[in-house]
Amino acid sequence: MKEELAKRYEPADIEQRLYATWEREGYFTPVADRERPRFSIVIPPPNVTGRLHIGHALVNTLQDIIVRWKRMSGFNTLWLPGTDHAGIATQMVVDRDLQRQGISRFDLGREKFVEKVWEWKEKYGGEIIDQLKRLGASCDWTRSRFTLDEGLSHAVRTVFVSLYNDGLIYRDLAMVNWCPLCRTAISDVEVEYRDRNDKLYQIDYPIADSDRHVTVATTRPETMLGDTALAVHSDDERYRDLIGKEAIIPVANRRIPIVADSILVDMEFGTGVVKVTPAHDKNDYEAGLRNNLAQLQVIDETGAMTAAAGDEFKGLDRFEARKRVVEHLKEQNALREVKDYQHAVGVHGKCDTIIEPMISRQWFVKIEPLARPAIDAVREGTIQIIPQTWEATYFNWMENIHDWTISRQLWWGHRIPAFYCGNGHMTVAVDDPQACPECGSTEITQETDVLDTWFSSGLWPFSTMGWPEKTPDLETFYPTDVLITGFDILFFWVARMIMFGLRFTGSRPFAQVFLNGLVRDEHGQKMSKTKGNVIDPMDVIDEYGADALRFTLAIFATGRDIPLARKRVEGYAAFANKIWNASRFAMMYLDTDLKSGGNIQRDDLGTVERWILSRLNETTREVNRYLSAFRFDEASHAIYKFFWHEFCDWYIEMVKPVLMSKHGSDDDRRKAKRVILEVLDRSLRLLHPFMPFITEEIWLKLGGVEPSIMVAPYPVAEEVLEDREAERMIDAITAMITTVRNVRVERGFTPKDRFKLYIDATTPRDASLFRDYSYLLIELARLNEVVVGAAIPEGAHHDVVSGFAIGIEFPEKEVSKEQLEKVQRDIEKSKKELAGLDAKLVNEQFLQNAPPQIVEGARARQTELRERIAKLEKNQQP
RNA sequence: GCGGAGUUAGCUCAGUGGUAGAGCUUCUGCUUUACACGCAGGGGGUCGGGGGUUCGAAUCCCUCACUCCGCACCA
């Protein structure tokens, strides 16, 4: 037992060593035991080529806390990890790398490029896993999955084919969000709207065969090259006569019809005339279909103008073309006005490129039939979203959901299992067909589009466990219990897992969803590279240790925003050091370990010992309760407060006289040591899910039965440890000590000056207890004598503490002006409170309506205040 | 425009009907042999404004102001 600890806690020395041991011993892997209740959770798979950022650190810390807590609580626990192939993001990364080498992916061709991406994945894919290990994540790495693994790919194909056969996947020509940089379609949720300061151009369109003109407004003049109509409202008197006539597009010099469309046009807005570009605007597209308008594509998939835009513009980038068009408009005197205009512009969330609405042939999921059961599951409580306030957002989105564009014109991802033969037949099948089932042709090519990454991650909770095969893992660990993830992917990921899970496994993919907030900087600003306020979790771990980072994240994990600053982590690194030093102190005295320490006979213990065990017990109850409710902040705070402010600040100080043989018998000493060992053991186990490394390092030295704290049982509250009476007495003693310390400073005495304390105990029992523990008062309040029961001398400082009248006798009688003022403030404050209580207690309504314990409490407080005021007033007498 | 969240100590935030809290910051004192990443003590808030319900409101209701976040966007 007598093992020396270093004076300061040095996380770097121990963390990686302990993690390696845990992994080697297989503690992260659940056992094949169907008897024990099981608990399972799947990781939100990070991008395979990504690096761990602070958001990952948060979400994985929270998962690890729950997982370690459940594992220690006796559940057969699985935390299944893995990575996501992250279609666009990964392709972009590799593409950029190739470009740096002067190679274009188009030079390589699809097959070679995909090989390169796999090489990249092999080379860097393990990095984020290693970083999760640095954080302490107790994932079962033997079950690690990747969304492009064979098994998961099979699940993807199975789901695709099933949805297709059920008519829920279709291929159609439609207007989609197109990213000209990534050259792929993206879904609605991948479009982000950014407020921009742009220009609104007012352009005159001449009416054909007349000298009239109408004015239309647009933010995108380049699209006028693709206009195929002007539209007005059918009820609009101003333009009614123009319906059916033609207008001439300036610059393009082309005739277009003027149509009536009362859906597209709002009479009240602007001039009441709208230019219609069916090939490059969603609303215009719809209007075009209604009015049988031509679709003229003037912008291609790279964002450049097409031949249809005219020879002068062909090949120009769309924004260059805009400038050129505006110049021409000016020359032709067709530009009536240019206004500053603020509006929201859709960009691709991944690359910030402005989205070009484009008509193209894509694959879609008909979503409504999938959404309905997913709405019901949350409404009926089958799936619980925590914090509950997110449910409204979930419903709002799910009830207004649009069909999901799932095809992507990328090379990296699950290729859509649709096959075309030379005769134009299409086959959708799980296994690659050797010949066309319809015509027997063996000239078969597979669809070149791949699936949206979220299509495969939507299957994650069951595809990772072997679905559609009925594997033992699926039977044991599915459905999972909890999903912990950021609220920012509620629609992208959570909603889709719910929809797919319900449809394909017949059960909810998880019972509860905990949505954590977003980590921001200390002023609530979003972290971004441009702002330079990014905190790299690896730097933080290097500097303060993983435990400090984890504890900081946990204690701030409530709410939408989590303000994080290095300074805060520093504060909890100090907590780790505190734990270290308290343990170091304890170990200087401990002479038995947990194995040979024997049981504690609670009835033999003194009040101080019963008090600390009672406090620990209450803390244990709170931590378990808070963890059940995902209140990571309250749970971590409860342990922090107990360990530092009750165990270290008070209990250790109180047992020092006993440990150092200044007070008490050998038997008292033995009991105190046993209780210290007990408190350390339980506190460390309680804290382990939050701070796995330091707790393991110390706990191993306490000599428990289990080979690791990871597999030791999690403490649960035991009623027998609760002791209200001990708490009442120790509260009184600590309050008296605080009062003496307080008055000492106010009167200008030094810690070396010693006084005499008088206590007026009301019952013989209390009196005897104060006598027993007078050594505590003497040591901690630095007194020379405690007198219980005798009259308090007139010249002493009078006060009432925890219901006991006390007097402090100082070596000199002089009272400073400051002290008198302080006493006066005290009296006034008490009088004010008393006045309030007096008024309350004569109020019939209060006496009748308030609960009895409140009334009683008020009476007791009233009595105490009266007494206290009387005593304090004595201090003012000369 | 629709939906949601928020406004509590200098800062960041807990606190869903019964005497206003934490951490950090700040100030004062302390080489008390576990820890200066420490110990002890102090200061600091009309709980965004107004109204209502109630014996009693930071807490429930209404209203106004401001902030933030989704979703949908009118050229």
Protein-to-nucleotide distance from the CA of A875 to the C1' of B58, whole angstroms: 36
Q: Is the confidence at residue A2, as pLDDT, over 60?
A: no
Protein-to-nucleotide distance from the CA of A520 to the C1' of B32, whole angstroms: 41
- A763 burial (CB, 10 Å; 0-12 / 13-18 / 19+) is exposed
Protein-to-nucleotide distance from the CA of A526 to the C1' of B47, whole angstroms: 27
Gap between the Cα atoms of A432 and A51, Å rounded = 35
DSSP A786-852: EEESSPPPTTSEEEEETTEEEEEE-SS----HHHHHHHHHHHHHHHHHHHHHHHHHH-HHHHHHS-H
Mean pLDDT across the stretch A234-257?
89
Nearest 5°: the CA angle A343, A346, A352 is 115
Q: Tell me the nt nearest to A843, Cα to C1'.
A: B55
Gap between the Cα atoms of A220 and A228, Å rounded = 15
What is the pLDDT at residue A557? 87
Q: What is the pLDDT of residues A779-838, one digit of tens each?
A: 999 998 999 988 888 888 888 888 888 999 887 656 667 777 777 878 888 888 888 888
The residue whose CA lies nearest the C1' of nucleotide B30 is A751
Nearest to A279 by CA among A353, A219, A215, A356: A356
Residue A202 pairs in a beta bridge with: A217, A337
Q: Is the confidence at residue A4, as pLDDT, over 70?
A: no
Q: Tell me the nt nearest to A837, Cα to C1'.
A: B19
Q: What's chain A's Rg over C-alpha atoms?
A: 37
Residue with tokens 């097959």: A111
Gap between the Cα atoms of A203 and A573, Å rounded = 64
Mean pLDDT across the stretch A565-569?
89
The residue whose CA lies nearest the C1' of nucleotide B24 is A568
Protein-to-nucleotide distance from the CA of A808 to the C1' of B38, whole angstroms: 28
Q: Which of A491-505, A536-550, A569-583, A799-813 has the lowest mean pLDDT?
A: A799-813
Mean pLDDT across the stretch A493-511?
95
- A292 burial (CB, 10 Å; 0-12 / 13-18 / 19+) is exposed
What is the pLDDT at residue A495? 94
The HSE-up count of residue A791 (CA atoms within 13 Å, CB side) is 3
Q: What is the pLDDT of residues A95-143, one digit of tens each?
A: 889 889 988 888 889 999 999 999 999 988 889 999 999 999 999 999 9
Q: Tell me the nt nearest to A861, Cα to C1'.
A: B19
Nearest to A158 by CA among A495, A508, A500, A499: A500
Protein-to-nucleotide distance from the CA of A584 to the C1' of B36, whole angstroms: 17
Protein-to-nucleotide distance from the CA of A224 to the C1' of B71, whole angstroms: 29
Gap between the Cα atoms of A117 and A93, Å rounded = 9
Helices marked H in A380-426: 390-398
Mean pLDDT across the stretch A838-845?
87
Nearest to A646 by CA among A677, A672, A612: A612
What is the pLDDT at residue A164? 96
Protein-to-nucleotide distance from the CA of A633 to the C1' of B21, whole angstroms: 14
Gap between the Cα atoms of A402 and A787, Å rounded = 80
**Helix, coil or strand: residue A651:** helix
Q: Is the confidence at residue A1, as pLDDT, over 50?
A: no
**Helix, coil or strand: residue A751:** coil
What is the pLDDT at residue A813? 52
What is the pLDDT at residue A700? 94
Q: Is the confidence at residue A878, as pLDDT, over 60?
A: no
Mean pLDDT across the stretch A130-159?
96
Q: Tell me the nt nearest to A274, Cα to C1'.
A: B75
Q: What is the pLDDT of residues A194-245, one digit of tens each?
A: 888 888 899 999 998 888 989 999 999 999 999 999 999 888 888 888 888 9
Protein-to-nucleotide distance from the CA of A753 to the C1' of B20, whole angstroms: 35
* CB atoms near residue A3 (< 10 Å): 12
Residue with tokens 């409170």: A833
Residue A339 pairs in a beta bridge with: A200
Q: Tell me the nt nearest to A864, Cα to C1'.
A: B19
Residue with tokens 């206004």: A339
- A35 burial (CB, 10 Å; 0-12 / 13-18 / 19+) is exposed
The rounded percent of chain A whose pLDDT value lies above 90 is: 57
Angle between helix axes A537-544 and A54-72 (nearest 10 degrees) is 60
Gap between the Cα atoms of A453 and A412, Å rounded = 10
Gap between the Cα atoms of A769 and A773, Å rounded = 6
Going A445 to A447 to A450 to A451, the CA torsion angle's sign is negative
**Helix, coil or strand: residue A229:** strand
Residue with tokens 């921009």: A196
CA-CA distances (angstroms) from residue A584 to A672, A676, A703?
16, 12, 15
Peptide bond connecting A692 to the previous residue in cis, omega within 30 degrees of 0:
no
**Dihedral Cα A490, A493, A498, A499, nearest 10 deg:** 110
Q: Is the confidence at residue A523, as pLDDT, over 80?
A: no
Q: What is the pTM of this model?
A: 0.93
CA-CA distances (angstroms) from residue A808 to A118, A755, A800, A814?
78, 7, 11, 13
Chain B bases having any atom below 7 Å from a protein CB: 3-5, 11-15, 18-19, 22-25, 28-30, 32, 34-42, 54-56, 70-75
Residues near A658 by beta carbon (within 8 Å), at least 6 away in sequence: A664, A668, A669, A672
Cα-Cα end-to-end distance for chain A: 58
Q: Is the confidence at residue A518, as pLDDT, over 70?
A: yes
The residue whose CA lies nearest the C1' of nucleotide B35 is A581
**Helix, coil or strand: residue A748:** coil
Residue A347 pairs in a beta bridge with: A192, A354
Q: Kindly report the average pLDDT of chain A as a whole number.
A: 90
Q: What is the pLDDT of residues A31-80, one digit of tens each?
A: 877 788 999 999 999 999 888 999 999 999 999 999 999 999 999 999 99
CA-CA distances (angstroms) from residue A827 to A823, A863, A869, A870?
6, 15, 6, 9
Mean pLDDT across the stretch A594-616?
87
**Helix, coil or strand: residue A530:** coil
Protein-to-nucleotide distance from the CA of A845 to the C1' of B60, whole angstroms: 20
Mean pLDDT across the stretch A636-653?
94
What is the pLDDT at residue A814? 63
Q: Tell me the nt nearest to A277, Cα to C1'.
A: B75
Q: Tell me the nt nearest to A582, Cα to C1'.
A: B34
Gap between the Cα atoms of A89 and A117, Å rounded = 11
